[in-house]
Homo-oligomer: A and B are copies of this chain.
């Protein structure tokens, strides 16, 4: 079956999608409730569609522009093929389609959850989590399907479906990067635009509704309330989905790129039952198997008692989650053992070729799984109800909003300590086990349970919506109580989900960064060169400015919303008495328009900066390798700073949110029980206002920023590394012939080397310019492989 393994991920993805369709039709068959409930649900559904349609229009323009640019690039650069444009378009379409499935099912599941909650909590969980499952499998299934399908197509187009050389495979993967770029572009719109949408609606609705008019949250008299509920879906469902879709694809792609270089390091070819591309197929296979494991995991999520509390619901989710993580670990063991050569050679920068056993790759995947699990625990500690950081913020609320804010900021900042140590440890360990291929596979293993993670994540906003519908349709209090249990668990999973998302984005970016450096063929990124150091600074600054722009965008959009709600309260007769009907659609339109408009500037910043760094110095005739190194410095700066700001903002926001929520059950401050409505609670509400854009807009946007930055780098890598080419003409496990040309200087070295058993024979031709004349010299070198390689290096230096 070995050589058919290339089709295995597709089959698994299709199986996942079939299960998704079954689950979907099951959810849709559930009772959607009575008139009022259905009416509200329909409003939310239509609002969500309105956003999607507006987004698609903008996206279409964007996709056309980028496609044209990519096509021009493919005309200019030899190693970039025009098929990258097709891959890009399909990447965008697949990601958008996955988002569409998610949004639709989420907005259909919410009302069914409300209806189920009228009689049974276990059923309500089953339905809301079922909706989440559809979402999760849609994203993961389409991601694996698309990526694998395009890989097979390009593998056949460029290599005739058979291994020839690393260089040819590089063209395949470089073209495939277009798919990833397309997916991540959608994520930019969905995550950043969605983040602005959801908070603009939320803040706008609260400011006029709760504060000015004194009506409760989710009150149907508030014209912005539908926009608020749509926002939950736009931001938390579609945004998160697109984010993870992008991470998923990018991680697998980066691992494939690095797998290709593993084959190169092993002499340009390996013999295995997978057509000699086992290390390239492995990440796709892990992703495929992960889909099936996620299906199993989701099946385990259920509760029995109608009187269950948060702990039981959380326990059910944990069982599903941990089972899938353990199953992924087990299958990583099998897949690594089966698909990789027992020992591989990998080039470690500055240390030369090192022998790596396939088990060490497996250990690297364990590192990834551990990070995914641990980062969630860290996040839960800093943002969880009843934990010491939250209790401290609650205490500090008693002296006013100022001290509450300081405590929240400090909590977010301190939370970077364990998180970053964890990342640093993961980078170090997975690299020590199996080089950057190990880092990429750590990320792949972590991402294997994406479908499960998304199911856990998406059920939160569905339950939140269900609660909103219960409120708006004036159900019995017990209904809201039941949805509140789900919602409360959803808040925790939302926070830990954000931890997972940033961890995945961080590891993905590192893998992309490694792929970039290898692609360009530079000697690493040396920050002791001042221009590289300068770009490290600039890169570090971009996430900070991006966050500020995103926060300001929320402020601006919310203000527009406030004006509109005020206008409706004034102009629509009987609106406060419930006899006049609010114009929900106008508020939806404002949020939609404002969010898409306001995401332009941060989007431009994200895409523009790397392009400026790459092309402006090129116009001034700077050496492309020097530029490649500068761009690498920029990428590192964005990644390091972006990860920090993501953790800081997500956790500060989560902490403020739960500090505020603590007052609902009552908290003890200086020996006195304090509740909602107290001054301390008001201070906590202020903190939550600050935290909202932190945790739902600017914080999560960092993921997209760092991934997209590194992806853009990877896509333009061939332009920057264009003057470096190395071709392995023919090879098998014991003998290889390499030819390469290095024309980065005016002088030239051409080498062809043949290694048979332990003897290496190299023919070296040097071409030098002396006194205006070209001089060519050919010599033969014999000896051990390392001796001959060292001599070649020496010759290269001599003639430079």
Contacts and interface: CB of A to CB of B under 8 A. Distances in A.
Contacts of A101: none
Given A636-B536, A644-B544, A790-B798, A693 B527 contact: no
A654 to B, nearest CB: 16
B798 A640 contact: no
Interface stretch (A161-169, A425-433, A450-458, A585-593): A425-433
A18 interface: no
A319 interface: no
Contact of A536 (B400, B640, B690): B640
Interface in A297-355: 349-350
A537 B423 contact: yes
A517 interface: yes
Contacts of A791: 798
Contacts of A548: 409-411, 413-414
Interface in A510-563: 510, 514, 517, 523-531, 533-538, 540-541, 544-545, 547-549, 551-552, 554-555, 562
A396 interface: yes
Interface string A222-243: 0000000000000000000000
A689 interface: yes
B793 A427 contact: no
Nearest to A348: B529
A636 B562 CA distance: 45
B529 A526 contact: no
Interface in A596-643: 626, 632-633, 636-637, 640-641, 643
A640 B529 contact: no
Nearest to A551: B410
Interface string A386-421: 000000000010011111011101110110110011
A537 B643 contact: yes
A699 B534 CA distance: 22
A427 B537 contact: yes
Interface residues of A, number: 86
B524 A416 contact: no
Contacts of A529: 349-350, 524
A797 interface: yes
A439 interface: yes
Contacts of A537: 420, 423-424, 427, 640, 643
Given A405-B686, A636-B527, A644 B540 contact: yes
A394 to B, nearest CB: 14
Contacts of A776: none
A439 B530 contact: yes
A218 B311 CA distance: 53
Interface in A18-70: none
B436 A530 contact: yes
Contacts of A421: 538, 541
Contact of A525 (B402, B411, B416, B527): B527
Interface of A: 207, 211, 349-350, 396, 399-403, 405-407, 409-411, 413-414, 416-417, 420-421, 423-425, 427-428, 431-432, 436, 439, 510, 514, 517, 523-531, 533-538, 540-541, 544-545, 547-549, 551-552, 554-555, 562, 626, 632-633, 636-637, 640-641, 643-644, 648, 685-690, 693, 790-791, 793-795, 797-798, 800
A427 B537 CA distance: 10
A214 to B, nearest CB: 15
A534 B427 contact: yes
Given A538-B420, A686-B686, A794-B797, A428 B531 contact: yes
Contacts of A407: 552, 555
A237 to B, nearest CB: 25
The 3 nearest A-B residue pairs measured at CB: A402-B689, A431-B530, A794-B794
Given A405-B405, A797-B790, A416 B544 contact: yes
A554 B410 CA distance: 11
A555 B424 contact: no
A641 B633 CA distance: 14
Nearest to A410: B548
A238 to B, nearest CB: 24
B525 A528 contact: yes
A104 to B, nearest CB: 33
Given A403-B689, A420-B541, 4 more contacts: A207-B399, A401-B686, A428-B531, A524-B529
A190 to B, nearest CB: 23
A531 B636 CA distance: 14
Contacts of A211: 400
Contact of A530 (B428, B523, B641): B428
A485 to B, nearest CB: 28
A370 B693 CA distance: 37
Contact of A552 (B207, B350, B410): B410
B524 A528 contact: yes
Contacts of A531: 428, 431
Given A405-B690, A409-B551, A648 B533 contact: no
A421 B528 CA distance: 18
A211 to B, nearest CB: 8
A800 B686 CA distance: 64
Contacts of A411: 548
Contacts of A349: 526, 528-529
B525 A424 contact: no
23 contacts: A211-B400, A350-B526, A401-B405, A402-B685, A402-B688, A403-B555, A407-B552, A409-B551, A410-B555, A414-B545, A414-B548, A414-B549, A427-B534, A428-B530, A431-B530, A431-B531, A514-B528, A525-B526, A540-B641, A640-B641, A641-B641, A794-B794, A794-B795
Contacts of A686: 400-402, 405, 686
Nearest to A629: B350
A38 B608 CA distance: 61
A280 B795 CA distance: 38
A545 B417 CA distance: 6
A427 to B, nearest CB: 5
